[in-house]
Amino acid sequence: MLGNLTDKTLNKKFKDVFLDFAVPIYQLIFFCTANNTEDIELFLLSRLTPVTIKPYNYQERLEIAHDLITYNFHSYKIADLIPKFSEKLIKKCLTREWGIRGLKDNIERIAYKAFLWKRRKKLPADWDTANWAIIDKEEVDAGDPQRNRPACPYSEDRTAQHRKGCECFKPELIEGWAENMTA
Ligand SMILES: [Zn+2]
């Protein structure tokens, strides 16, 4: 399908199965997304211009965290407690992942606990050290049999070296991570 769409010799009068008229697709710009360009056939890749989307940097993760805190605390009607959520606590919520799923889970967990503890009048004095049951996740490349990719040795043994080109989380590729997370 993408092969036909991007074929210069065919695309003046392209007819889609669902649209019963010719579309001059040479006048269109296509945006395609893929997790792994290595899985794209080379003839097709040569017709595309790859653009790598960088993972969120530390500052962006912080901003996302603030938005998530605002949203969740308002949902539980505990917006008065938002100032209690320090950057130190946000750092604890940041997971070693390319994305922000773990961060989102951790903030949701804290908002829910804060809501319960407030109702029971059991809010902690020190939020930074309270027992929120924050989950510290690390994204590792466990391989993918469907793509014929082996697991990274590091995924089974944290003292092992990474396999070249593995997809494990690499803090050094996140701008601002090392400076802020180890300080
Ligand atoms: Zn690895």
Closest C-alpha to 78, from 110, 33, 35, 30: 110
* Residue 163 Cα to ligand 1 middle (Å): 5
1 falls in which pLDDT band (50, 70, 90)? low
| Span from the CA of 149 to the centroid of ligand 1 (angstroms) | 12
Measure 25 CA to ligand 1 centroid, in angstroms.
41
Whether the per-residue pLDDT at 149 is higher than 80: the answer is: yes
CA 9 to ligand 1 centroid distance, Å: 42
Determine the average pLDDT of the residues in 111-124: 98
Q: How far is the C-alpha of 91 from the C-alpha of 86, rounded, in Å?
A: 9
pLDDT tens-digit readout, 21-79: 887 777 888 888 887 787 788 998 898 899 988 999 999 999 999 999 999 999 999 99
Alpha carbon of 166 to ligand 1 centroid (Å):
5
CA–centroid distance, residue 40 to ligand 1 (Å):
22
Of residues 182 and 121, more confidence is placed in 121
**Is the pLDDT at 162 greater than 80, yes or no?**
yes
What average pLDDT does range 116-142 have in this prediction? 96
Distance between Cα 31 and ligand 1 center (Å): 29
- Check pLDDT > 70 for residue 183: no
- C-alpha 59 to ligand 1 mean position (Å): 24
User: 132 CA distance to ligand 1 centroid (A)?
Assistant: 29
CA 154 / ligand 1 centre spacing (Å): 5
Residues of the chain with pLDDT > 70, as a percent, come to 98
- Judged against a pLDDT cut of 80, whether residue 126 lies above it is answered with yes
Residue 147 pLDDT more than 90? no
67-102: pLDDT as tens digits: 999 999 999 999 999 999 999 999 999 999 999 999
Q: pTM of the full predicted structure?
A: 0.78
For 6-26, b/e burial (b = at least 16 CB within 10 A) is: beeeebeebeeeeeeeeeebe
What is the pLDDT averaged over residues 114-133? 97
Q: What is the pLDDT of residue 115?
A: 98
Distance 58 CA to ligand 1 centre (A): 21
Contact 128, 169 (CB under 8 A): no
